[in-house]
Amino acid sequence: MARWRTCTAACLALLLAVVLSACTAAQPGAEGKVPPTLSEAGRSASAFALTVDGVAAIDVLYAAPAGGQRPVDAMPYGTPRWAATLRLTVKPGTDTATAMVAARRVANHVSQWETGFGWAVELQECCTKAVSARVYESRPSEEAGILRAGTVRTFADARLLAAVDGVAGVSVGTAGQVAAGVDGYAHVPSVATALHEGGFANPVLKLPDGSAKFQTVELKTGSYSAGAGVLGLMERLGTNLPLESMAVLPVGNSGPESGGGRAPSNFLLEVSAGTMEEAQDLERAILAADLEYAAGDAAVRHYRIPYGEPVDSEYGEPRRDSLSGELRYATPLPATDDVPPAPERKPAAAVDDPLCGPGQLEWTAQQMPAPSMGFMGMSLFLSNVGTHPCSVNGYPALAFADADGDAIPVDLAHGFLEAGGNVVPSPVVIGPGGQALAPVQWRTNQVDGYSRLPSSMAVEAVSGTGFTAASELFITTNIIDGSEVRLSPWQPVEESPLP
């Protein structure tokens, strides 16, 4: 007997915001309120965002370190500092490329902050299903301002997943983590299969339980499929019997949970129940199933059914009583050592994208964390604010000017002066809203009141394509006439080692 009712987009919007949002509403901290510099930056970002094409509205949410000591759990990167989330609502009919460009432009604006606060940029759909994606966030405080970007696919993925039958809402994080609201257990197999085929590992599904709460289905199977047999069993259990939650979990002495370097090859079906009688009913249903196994499926060998209230145990932490045993298969499982490796997600095919021209590019510069060995430097981020992918290859060129607009001649060179800083040039494709990174370095110079220092900079992404318009340089430099400025080649932001 079906026990579930359809969840509205409004309630799932609230749910999914809690699951993946990196910031919560403002909380009292040591100062008792949002620091003025952060709230001022939030107002500035709001005003800027409303001028960007495709943005209908913006909400700024603040989070404070709890008690001034530990951060709130969902704060970006878990750093103990105040943080802000800029949640952009896109206008109806806005295409994904335009939405990603809007997020990129807001992220560029925010990345100029020198407040020491954490921040993130999210996109959410207007007026339809609950659809949201975190697309940019800051790195830890010691690398303040450096971006951590989701792939250009992030918002597109959220929209595609929302179109899957049975999905009432979806949220995607920068690392590709997914939380999906599902209308009922009947849709769990199809939604889980769609997530797996889309390359999303370890999704969290949320289902309404007939009240204001939700039940959770976690599929921590990595690159393996949970399998039609196990998913079908989960559907039957959730549809016909009372339970609290379900999960497929890795077990054994391999994989990330145990600290091993290999992907786990054995898994456990865990079904939580409220009472012993409910646990016994679940166990009878589990043992009555003859499951099918196919190559590429997770080898789910055992089950565990925790029930009741946690009680004190000799192991230190309270534990729940549980029933456990082996699952039954009509198709034999392979031996533990013979489980095939998890299939790898194939990379996207290379495309022949045109070179990036100055009209579709914006740049931002971030100060390197600290000078070292007599050097100073900056991280140069190049953003595609157009609506089509383009490519860069090789080294950028830079042109500096002082406060009067007069050029400051410098010598541009390729490769870093200190060991370990050199990267081989290779083509980098930048999708709409995406970015590339090129670290820049120069020797520390002695300056005085008569020194001409850079006030603005223009960037040529690819030799011969032309310079961007000169823009104000917000970072501190001591580049002077005749300085040697050394450049690294363009690198994908998601794969680049931070300088």
What span, in angstroms and rounded, lies between the C-alpha atoms of 204 and 200? Answer: 10
Confidence of residue 315 (pLDDT cuts 50, 70, 90): low
Task: Give 163's strand partners.
Answer: none
Q: Which residue has the higher pLDDT, 285 or 212?
A: 285
Lowest mean pLDDT among 97-101, 163-167, 185-189, 378-382: 97-101
CA terminus-to-terminus distance, the chain: 58
pLDDT at site 378: 86
For residues 251-263, give the mean pLDDT. Answer: 46
Report the range out of 78-82, 96-100, 109-113, 376-380 with the highest average pLDDT: 376-380
Res. 498 pLDDT band, cuts 50 70 90: very low
pLDDT digits (tens, 9 = 90+) for 222-241: 888 899 999 999 999 999 99
| Length reported for the chain | 499
Q: pLDDT digits over 2-47, tens only?
A: 333 334 444 444 444 444 443 333 333 333 478 888 888 888 889 9
The answer to whether 321 and 307 have CB atoms below 8 angstroms apart is: yes
Tell me the helix, strand and coil percentages in the chain, rounded to 5: 20, 30, 45
**Average pLDDT score, the chain:** 76
Q: Which domains does the chain have, with CATH numbers?
A: 1-159 (no CATH), 358-495 (2.60.40)
Say if residue 69's pLDDT is above 50. no
Average pLDDT of span 148-172:
76
pLDDT of residue 373: 66
Q: Which tops the pLDDT comparison, 330 or 96? A: 330
- Residue 9 — left, alpha, or beta (φ > 0 → left; ψ -120 to 50 → alpha)? alpha
- Please choose, from the candidates 265, 288, 287, 233, the residue with its C-alpha nearest in 3D space to the C-alpha of residue 334: 265
Q: What pLDDT shows up at residue 426?
A: 82
Q: Poorest-confidence range of 77-81, 95-99, 189-193, 334-338? A: 77-81
Which residue has better confidence, 422 or 49? Answer: 49
User: Greater confidence, 478 or 257?
Assistant: 478
Return the number of other C-beta atoms located less than 10 Å from residue 78's C-beta.
Answer: 13
Strand, coil or helix: 384: strand
373-to-346, 376, 439 alpha-carbon distances in Å:
42, 9, 16
Rounded mean pLDDT of 140-157?
A: 54
The predicted pLDDT at position 228 comes to 93
Query: Is residue 385 over pLDDT 60?
Result: yes
Q: In this predicted structure, what is the pLDDT of residue 188?
A: 94
Mean pLDDT of 262-274: 82
Residue 491, pLDDT > 80, answer yes
Contact assessment for residue 80 and residue 113, using Cβ atoms and an 8 Å cutoff: no
Euclidean distance between CA atoms 415 and 409, whole angstroms: 19
Element (H, E) at 185: none
The answer to whether the beta carbons of residues 126 and 115 sit under 8 Å apart is no
pLDDT over 50 (residue 419):
no
pLDDT mean over 420-445: 80
CA atoms of 55 and 242, how far apart (whole Å) = 43
Residue 305, pLDDT above cutoff 90 = yes
Per-residue confidence (pLDDT) for residue 264, from 0 to 100? 59
DSSP 8-state class, residue 341: P
